[in-house]
Amino acid sequence: MSPTVYISRDSGALSLGAEAVATAVTAEAGKHDQNVRLVRTGSRGMYWLEPLLEVETSEGRIGYGPVSPSDVPGLFESRFLEAGSHPLGHGLTESIPYLKSQERLTFSRVGVIDPLSLEDYLASDGYQGLKNALTLSGEQIVKDLTESGLRGRGGAGFPTGIKWKTALDTPSEQKYVVCNADEGDSGTFSDRMVMEGDPFVLIEGMTIAGLAINATRGYIYVRSEYPHAYRILNQAIEKAYGSHYLGEDLRGSGRTFHLEVRRGAGSYICGEETALLESLEGKRGMIRYRPPLPAVSGLFGKPTILNNVISLASVPVIFSKGSAFDKNFGVGRSRGTLPFQLSGNIKRGGLVEKAFGITLRELLYDFGGGSSTGRPIRAVQVGGPLGAYLPESQFDTPLDYEAFAKIRALLGHGGAVVFDDTVDMARMARFAMEFCALESCGKCTPCRIGSTRGVEVIDKVIQNLNRDDNLQLLGDLCDLMLNGSLCGLGGLIPYPVLSALRHFPEDFGVADVSKLNLP
Ligand SMILES: Cc1cc2nc3c(=O)[nH]c(=O)nc-3n(C[C@H](O)[C@H](O)[C@H](O)COP(=O)(O)O)c2cc1C
Ligand code: SF4
């Protein structure tokens, strides 16, 4: 039998040269008259080892990485196809500590299976959740989901069961399921990894959501910067239709669920759920007033379940393993796992799926290995561009929604962007305000005008022009934006600004931050 070699086709791996490595392996195998079965997978999420090349052995897969095309002849000489030793070898991939110490529930298949093989998906517990859900009433599905304690992974941590129940209880001939795959937060890539590495799990989760509220149509709103995810999702959807996992009469059940992919409009605000719905309807991405909530009046004014990719991809396991399964992981009201994403100035950047409750320090050092420059880590922005900057003194905070809220920070979509001690935090605060000014949808004054004034005020602070007065003005402006903005963009941008000022006052030329009356 031909040896099997696995190389990722995930766009992160491709950007690091995975395609050239795959071509080199095929060419070198030809030179050696060696048949090789090449399987293209998603990524294991260890981007510091990509392009990662894995070989199937009786013990499991042996990993080599990061491999460049020029390493390939040497790998053949070292008989890597028979697990021969080579300086790039890491032994069994699953035993690499970075992967071994994770709790991969949502990402169990990512990097392992061929994302477009329905056979691979079915052989690894795929569609077990749908099979079980097809035997349940909508009420029972919502009840089981509520019992699992699942909270939305898109940022706000809102209980998914409550959202689904609201949509279930709102009578309507037509209802929708919408997946938010806009993934606009800086330093986040878990949605993309699932869509490229295990698209059927998202399709299955959305189908179960459709069954729950009797929605016959769903849309995946994918950011335009994700062409690979767009292509893979469309191919997977076609396969699912071909095998009656989508369409009319799902697996002979008499139930219907249609699914389509839509490209995003390329703006950060289109990730906010009401702006996303506007954009999906073909309009400019502007925030809608709430109420009504999308679960009551969403897409085209109909009751709509709108969830993030990871939230929906977390659903199948709840219905295949039972609602108690997820509850065994996590702390307090943050149950289950979160795929954390490490990026920025970090030695081992990548995806770490762990139960809520792990500390930032464990994530940064045990997994991340410290900064890539070798300098001390000074600040970490958790939760995307609206998240707070955390100083070293807060690295022991457990990563859970409530613990983060207590320190006026956000867990968001689980992205952590790392900075060493060369960072200038006043510049980062300015960058946050500038980002808000650029991305503001313009509907409310505190954000539209406030963000531009905020940039000007921070510039004056940096230039030491009337510094004390301008710092007080900045505090007042942040207070107004926090309390007066219509949505989370203007309402949360004070988090990075104020945390930078509060924890790193020296970068603003402030000796004693307690003298400032900050909100
Ligand atoms: C400015 C802004 C941008 C957002 N961007 C995203 C995004 O890119 N992806 C996402 O899933 N949620 C995003 N959200 C959160 C969504 O509005 C919404 O809460 C989420 O999609 C609901 O899904 P969930 O309950 O499964 O988390 C954003 C929110 C705000 C205020
Ligand atoms: S806070 Fe900003 S993005 Fe949100 S509605 Fe107001 S102007 Fe639009």
pLDDT per residue as tens, the chain (519 positions): 799 999 999 999 999 999 999 999 999 999 999 999 999 999 999 999 999 999 999 999 999 999 999 999 999 999 999 989 999 999 999 999 999 999 999 999 999 999 999 999 999 999 999 999 999 999 999 999 999 999 999 988 999 999 999 999 999 999 999 999 999 999 999 999 999 999 999 999 999 999 999 999 999 999 999 999 999 999 999 999 999 999 999 999 999 999 999 999 989 999 999 999 999 999 999 999 999 999 999 999 999 999 999 999 999 999 999 988 888 899 998 999 999 999 999 999 999 999 999 999 999 999 999 999 999 999 999 999 999 999 999 999 999 999 999 999 999 999 999 999 999 999 999 999 999 999 999 999 999 999 999 999 999 999 999 999 999 999 999 999 999 999 999 999 999 999 999 999 999 999 888 888 888
HEC readout, 129-195:
HHHHHCCCCHHHHHHHHHHHCCECCCCCCCEHHHHHHHHHHCCCCCCEEEEEECCCCCCCCHHHHHH
Q: 403 by DSSP, 3-state: which?
A: helix
| Among 419, 405, 410, 417, residue whose Cα is nearest residue 386 | 410
Q: Count CA atoms closer than 13 A to 13's CA, side-chain side.
A: 30
**What does the pLDDT read at residue 516?**
85
End-to-end CA distance of the chain: 67
**What does the pLDDT read at residue 515?**
85
**What does the pLDDT read at residue 323?**
86
User: What is d(CA 481, CA 111) in angstroms, rounded to the nearest whole number?
Assistant: 42
* Token pair of 507 as six digits: 């970068």
**What does the pLDDT read at residue 327?**
82
User: What is d(CA 349, CA 369) in angstroms, rounded to the nearest whole number?
Assistant: 9
Dihedral sign, Cα of residue 398, residue 400, residue 403, residue 409:
positive
User: What is d(CA 384, CA 412) in angstroms, rounded to the nearest whole number?
Assistant: 7
351 C-alpha to center of ligand 1: Å? 20
**What does the pLDDT read at residue 385?**
97
Q: 466 by DSSP, 3-state: which?
A: coil
8 Å CB contact between 330 and 400: yes
439 C-alpha to center of ligand 2: Å? 9
Q: Which residues pair with 56 in a beta bridge?
A: 61
* Residue pointed to by tokens 């890491």: 90
* Token pair of 505 as six digits: 């006052």
Ligand lying closest to the C-alpha of residue 451: 2
Q: Which residues pair with 179 in a beta bridge?
A: 220, 307
Helices (H) and strands (E) in the chain, counts: 22, 16
**What does the pLDDT read at residue 328?**
85
The amino acid that residue 275 corresponds to is A
**What does the pLDDT read at residue 266?**
87
412 C-alpha to center of ligand 1: Å? 9
Tell me how far the alpha carbon of residue 432 is from its chain's centroid. 20
Q: Which positions ≥6 away from 71 have C-beta within 8 Å? A: 64, 88
Number of C-beta neighbours around residue 136 at 10 A: 16
448 C-alpha to center of ligand 2: Å? 7
Instruction: Supply the angle between the helices 445-462 and 467-484 in degrees, to the nearest 10.
Output: 160
Beta 337-344 vs 415-420: how paired, if at all? parallel
Q: Which positions ≥6 away from 103 have C-beta within 8 Å? A: 329, 337, 353, 354, 355
Query: Which atom of ligand 1 lies at the shortest distance from residue 157's CA?
Result: 27
As for ligand 2, residues whose beta carbon falls within 6 Å of it are: 269, 287, 440-444, 447-448, 485-487, 489-490
State the DSSP H helix or E strand holding residue 418, giving kind and residue range, or none if neither.
Answer: strand 415-420
Exposed / middle / buried, residue 452 (Cβ in 10 Å: 0-12, 13-18, 19+):
middle
Number of C-beta neighbours around residue 122 at 10 A: 14
Cis peptide before 69 (omega within 30 of 0): no
8 Å CB contact between 172 and 302: yes
388 C-alpha to center of ligand 1: Å? 17
Query: Which atom of ligand 1 lies at the shortest distance from residue 386's CA?
Result: 1
* Token pair of 238 as six digits: 């076609």
Q: Which residues pair with 447 in a beta bridge?
A: none
Cis peptide before 292 (omega within 30 of 0): yes
**pTM for the full predicted model:** 0.97
State the DSSP H helix or E strand holding residue 473, giving kind and residue range, or none if neither.
Answer: helix 467-484
